[in-house]
Each structure stands twice: as C-alpha cells, then as structure tokens.
Structure 1
Amino acid sequence: MTTAYKFLEPYTFKNGMTVKNRVVIPPMTEASSFEEGSITTDELRYFRIHSGGVGMFISPVANVSESGKGFEGQLSITDDRFLPGLTKMASAMKQGGAKAILQIFHAGRMSNSKVLRGTQAVSASAVAAERPNAETPRELTNPEIEQIIDDFGEATRRAIQAGFDGIELHGANTYLLQQFFSPHSNRRTDKWGGNVQKRMTFALEVIKRVHSVVTQYAKEPFIVGYRISPEEIETPGIRLADTMQFIDVLADQPIDYLHISMGYVWRTSLNDETDTEPIILKIKRQIHNRLPLISVGSVEQPADAEKVLDAGIDFVAIGRELLREPNWIQKVESNDEESIRYTISIQDLDELGITPAMWNFLTVRLKSAMHISNQPDYDKGQFDHRLAPHEGA
C-alpha cells in the first residue's frame, strides 16, 4: 500500500488552478537549443521523458530580450517566430498531467560579449560580477529599462499563446532582476536604485507588466511565480535583512508563488555563522501564509521531500534527482521506492534524454554533485552554510 505522503496531495492556487501533487521539477539548464534560440527535437524528447509524474514542471530559462541571452544553447522567447516550437514544448511538458511553467529572464551582466556576438552585456550599473573573467557591463538607460519591462510582458503573452500554464520570473542566481535588487550590481541614484525600497522597483514594475498581460490575454487560470536567491556573499551584497523586506513586499504582489533558490533546502545564513535557523523557515514566517512557497536544494529521497512538507512548505522541488530518475513519483505511488535510482551512469544518458551538451554542462558545473555512478561522490552537508555548485536544484 502506498505511503500517505503529503507531497502526493493536490494543491489548488488562489486563482483556481489545481496541480496534482506538491512535487516540482525546478528550472535546470540543458543548453540544448539551437544557436539562435529555437527549441530542438532533442529538447522535446527530454521534456516528454521527464514530464509524467510531477505536479509542476518549470522549464529551463528563456531569455526575453536579445541583450538578455546568458549562455550558448539557451531557449529564446524574444519573437513570435518562436511560437510554433514553444507550443510543442508546452505540450511535451504537460504530458502526464504536469502543469508547464516557462521560466523567463534577462541575464544582465552574467552574459558576455562572446555570447552576445560582440555586443557588451548590460546591467543596472557598470560593475563587473565577482567571478573569473567577468566583463564590465554597460549601465542601462531609462528607455532601455522600460523596453526590457515590455519584453517581459511580451514574453508572457507568448507563453500564454503557446499553451503554458504559467511563467516564472527568474529573480535569482545573480541575473538581471536580482542585479537591480543587489547593492553590489546596482549603484544607481535614480528611481531604479538607492535604498532597499528603490532597488525593488525594477522587479515590481516587471511583475506589474506581467500581471496586466495575464489579465488581458489569459482565458483561464495562469500562474505567475517569482524565484529569488536569499543572499549574496559579495560586499556590498544582498543580506537576509534586505531579502525579508523584499519578500514582505512580494507577498502582496499579484504573483501565485515564491520559489526560493538554494543548493541545500535547510541552508542557514551564508554571512552570519551564529544564525542557525534555516533560511526557508525565516521566509515562511515572513510570508505568513500570503503566498505558497517552493523550496529546493539537494532533495533526493521521499523522506527528504516529506520533511519539507512537514515543515509547512507548500511545494518541494527536486532537480538533479529527477534527472537521474524521471519515474520517481510513479515509483513512490506504486510502492516501489526500492527501485528508485540515486546515481547516474553515462550509459543511461540516451534513455534519460540528456544530450551531450547538457551532460557537458552538468559535469563541468556540478561535477560530483550529480552522483555519477563510477566517480567519487560529494558530501551535500558541506553546503549547509555556503553556496553550492547546484544552486536551485
């Protein structure tokens, strides 16, 4: 008899949309689109393989502006010409009853002139990221900022027309939405920068525009989520006090969930070693039931997922483990947990729909965190108090 796990229970959002369970595939880079951003048949196959069991499937990120491309092989939603492929993508992701959520973003200073084919990257201010070989971006003008806000709106319209069930605004992992909120990347003194309230302005204007587009074009319930990274390690940088103020404002915006991007679901402060309370519990308290929460980070076994639900978190996102085991939910539901795979072999990549480009990305960026069967493994506990190579998965 199947264990009565809370994560198998359905959930109904305030807008009336019901998802069949509380397990989410978080957005994971697969680097497998065509050079100009069109979706490939390899990607469609990957989505079909992994779509079956979960309640929500959040896509790899799509860039909303030509200046917003962050890496090679990235999906684009910058033009209506991408709609036929995006429509196929939404259909593939929804096989088996999952709700298909398209994550959208602008990379900002996390891109470079090579990816942008000779064009300088842009950001809130002309401040380079603190990472190897980072290029200094150009500060966006006011009209350019307004255009990017429009681009987020147009991307949302395309997601609706393509048949997605929602979009997620990628305000995490140091991309442009986060860059405007961060005192490291935003040194502006106009309405887009300054104190913590002014640094929220860009994100709030994007949310406002997206909401107006949903109201105009969506004929049935459509989800708008927001993903956030709670801290930065740069100085100056985002600290938990800033984030709690931002979350307090976000909780009253026209969004349907808040997704907290971390590499370990129970991580404590990166900047205050004396603070031993998990960040996700601080955020839950700050939200005070105004929005559902998605928590992510090194969740693998059913007991790990249930612990998240036991803490009062509404959804649990499982990333790398659902790459290794796309039938994770089905095996739990059929009382077949002993057969769940927790390692991945290079011999399994075709079966799992993982392309060579995606495998290269995973092994270069995540290394032993992928639990590769014939290689040394990693200790996920080492990321209790610091950034992981797999933030958000």
Structure 2
Amino acid sequence: MSYQFLQPKTLKSGVQIKNRVVLPPMTECMALENGEVSREELRYADIHTGGVGMFITPVAYVNARGKGFEGQLSAAEDRFIPGLRKLARAIQKNGSKAILQIFSVGRMSTSAILRGQQTVSASAVAALRPGAETPVALTATEIEQTITDFGEATRRAIAAGFDGVEIHGANTYLIQQFFSPHSNRRTDKWGGSVEKRMTFPLRIVAEVQRAVKENSNRPFAVGYRFSPEEIEEPGITLADTLKLVAKLDTLGLDYLHVSMGNVWRTSLRDHDDQEPVIKKIQRAVSQTPLISVGSIDTPADAERVMTADIDFVAIGRESIREPQWVEKVVAGAEDSIRYTLPLADLDELGIASPYFDFLAGMDAGGAHIGFVPALNQPTMADAEDPVFKK
C-alpha cells in the first residue's frame, strides 16, 4: 500500500525530510549527571533512528537554571558540543534528520535539581502541582540573558552538526509560563495583555533565527512546539493560542509542533465545543507545516493524520516499542509491527534503567504511562501524554 506519510517534504530552510514520520521529543533521563550525552543515550538513538524523517531529541536545557530533571541533556556550554556531535551523528543514520529540542524549565524544577538555586519564572507564582516551589521572578536583565542563551544553544547545535532545533514553548515550561496569565502576572513589557505575553516567545524565535543566520552555512531548520490550552484559571485559552500561532505563522518557521495527548482531542476548557483543536489550529496557520502527535500507533492512524492535511505525524509511544515501524511499513511487513513491550525486550530496545524508572514513576503519578497487561507482560503505554513530553 502507498502511504502519504512515506512521501518526502522540503522545509522552508531547505532541509529535506525523507518522509513525514517524526520521532517526537521524549524524556529518557539517560544523560550523565552533568548533562553530557551518555553511551546509553547514543545506543538508544542508534536503535530508534533511521526510519523516521525527523528525530527530535529529548529536550536540552540552555542554561544552568533551566534544568528540569536528572539525566537531562545540556546545551548550556561549549564543552557539551563533542557529545552532542556524537548524538547528531547517531541520529542521522540512513538519512533521518537530527533536531535538538531546547528549553528552560522555569518553575517546573526544584531547588534540589538546581543544586540549591531557587527556581525561576515570569512571576513569583507556584505551579498548581503538589509540592511545587514558589519561583523567583526573572529580572529584565535575566530575561535578556535567557533569550541570549537560546541563541547560544542554537549555535552549539549548529556546531554539533544537527539539522535543526525545536524551541520548546509547550508543556508548562518557561516559554509557556511567560505566555500564560497564570504564571505571568507582570506589569512591564513582558506581561499583561496577550500581545505582551507573546513578547518573550517571539523574542526567542527571533534570537534563534539570528543565530542560524550568523552561524550556519547549510540548511538548518527551526521549529516551535506549543500546548494549545491550560486548565488553570486564569490560564491559556484556545483564543490566546490562535493569536500566538497566527503570529508564529508569519515568521518563516519550518514547522509548528502541536503538543497534545491525542491528535483529535477537543477543548479541555470548553466541553461543549466538540471540534478537534487541531482543526482550529489549521485554520489559523496558512504558511507553516504542522506536526501533530498523540495516540498514533498503526499505519492507519498515521494515514488519517495525512488525509486531514496535516503535514507531519509524530509517533511517540509506539516508537519506543517498535523502532523499526517505518521500515516494516516500507517492507510491507505491517503484521510484524510490535504493539506491546514485554520486559524481556527492554535491553533490545535500548531502554536503560533510568528511562524505565521514569516511565514507571509516571505511571505511579497517574500520567497514563501505565503497565497495561498484554500477553501477561507489562507494557509501556501513552508516552504521548503532555506531562511525559519534555
């Protein structure tokens, strides 16, 4: 069968993507304690790449106070470039494009993870999560430095040989915190109206694009990831997000990545609105390709995304248990695609104990990573959950 998701696409930057299947950024917790790329991470990348058109790494923090969890990649200093270069080369096997996701975590960290430093955010407002610490509001000077840090992380990604970066503006982290009326209570130019709350995200996009223009002599992609809504009050509404994406659509980005637990989910805030959120986003975007993610397992699931005129389909949880998904589709061996993950397969799939422990911990926290019985074996599930995405 001929699938649309196997067709190539060239991005605005000139980066050529061999198919429309994306491996989205998923937390692995397998980097070294200091943020360097580990052998386990390189092995996992080597096992899981090659078939997909784009492989987006687990998120790397751009400065020391941007670290969100143990075992996270760092792009905060030049000394990390050699390890990042090894990771990029591992991903680029068989033509997969390597995209480094970058962020600062903001208030969604802890002083323990930050080795005694206080968490930071747009304002001194704690997240509505059990045990959340109250952050300190970034000063105007610190905001400008953070923007610069995103540009420097981009420069390092270019030096390391990546094919692009994805700006992580989703999943409650710092960029989203500036856009959110819950976490951003500022009265200066960085907060207030939805237009002012856009200032920080838009400045970061401009800085990353500047870094690409000044440092790359080859096609280099820039994408942006966002979460459409928040359930907090006050929180980000779909109306807010549609204004943001309409603006992002004019900036020459290579793609916009919509972070949701299900491609076809409807509004979290307005339960009477039964139109899929992705349809609303499509109407707001006319110039920029979209990546959609969430509960995509089978080739039929992926093709449904294509027939809805969405440009790329990201396969998360299924890519964990079946790294040869694309290759098996191409070979006409769909019947051999693995949809369960017995414990006996963990080593074969490069899932080291920190990654397994993270998934198990997410299950205990009710994030639907759960161990779903299949053939009397524990099975990984729901890696697309927004909480899981880093």
Q: TM-score normalized by structure 1?
A: 0.95
- Report what 2:125 is aligned to: 127
- Given that 2:242 and 2:284 are in contact with CA atoms closer than 8 Å, whether structure 1 keeps it comes out as yes
Gaps of 5+ in 1: 381-386
Mapped contact 2:7–2:18 kept (Cα < 8 A): yes
Aligned to 1:260, which of 258, 261, 264? 258
Return the offset for 1:13. Answer: 1.1
Q: Tell me the equivalent position of 1:317.
A: 314
Residues of 2 paired with 1:266 and 1:68: CA distance? 31
SS in 2 for 1:350: coil
Q: Does 1:193 align with 2:191?
A: yes
Contact 2:342 2:379 (8 Å CA) reproduced: no
Partner Cα distance (1:324, 1:388) in 2: 16
Q: Is the 8 A contact 1:263 1:392 kept in 2?
A: no
Could you tell me how far apart the structure 1 residues matched to 2:202 and 2:372 are? 39
Out of 363, 376, 392, the position equivalent to 2:360 is: 363
Q: Which amino acid aligns with 2:345?
A: D
Q: 1:390 and 1:319, CA in 2 relative to 1: closer, same or farther beyond 3 A?
A: farther
Shift of 1:164: 0.1
Q: 2:349 aligns with which of 332, 347, 352?
A: 352
Percent identity between the two aligned chains: 60
Distance 1:169 1:372, change over 3 A: farther
1:58 pairs, out of 56, 59, 63, with 56
> Does 1:292 find its partner at 2:289?
yes
Q: Say which of 137, 161, 170 aligns to 1:163.
A: 161
The one-letter code of the counterpart of 1:304 is D
8 Å contact from structure 2 (residues 124, 137) kept in 1: yes
2:82 is matched with which residue? 84
For the 8 Å contact 1:345–1:372, the answer to whether it is kept is no
Q: Which residue of 2 aligns with 1:329?
A: 326
User: Deviations 1:213-239 (Å, cap 9, x if unpaired)?
Assistant: 100111111000000000000000001
Contact 2:61 2:104 in 1 (8 A): yes
Gaps of 5+ in 2: none
In 2, the alpha carbon distance for the partners of 1:269 and 1:357 equals 34
What displacement does 1:391 show?
Answer: 5.5
Contact conserved, 2:59 with 2:100, CA < 8 A, in 1? yes
The list of structure 1 runs, each at least 4 consecutive aligned residues, that deviate by more than 4 angstroms after superposition, is: 366-372, 375-380, 387-393
Q: CA deviation at 1:365?
A: 1.0
Give the residue type in structure 2 aligned to 1:274.
Answer: D
Matched, 1:228 2:226: yes
Q: Aligned to 2:28, which of 27, 30, 36?
A: 30
Partner of 2:11: 13
**Contact 1:344/1:372 (CA < 8 Å) preserved in 2?**
no
CA-to-partner distance for each residue in 1:93-122, whole Å, 9 max, x for gaps? Answer: 111110000000000000110100111000
Count, aligned residues? 385
Give SS of 1:104's match. strand
Partner of 1:104: 102
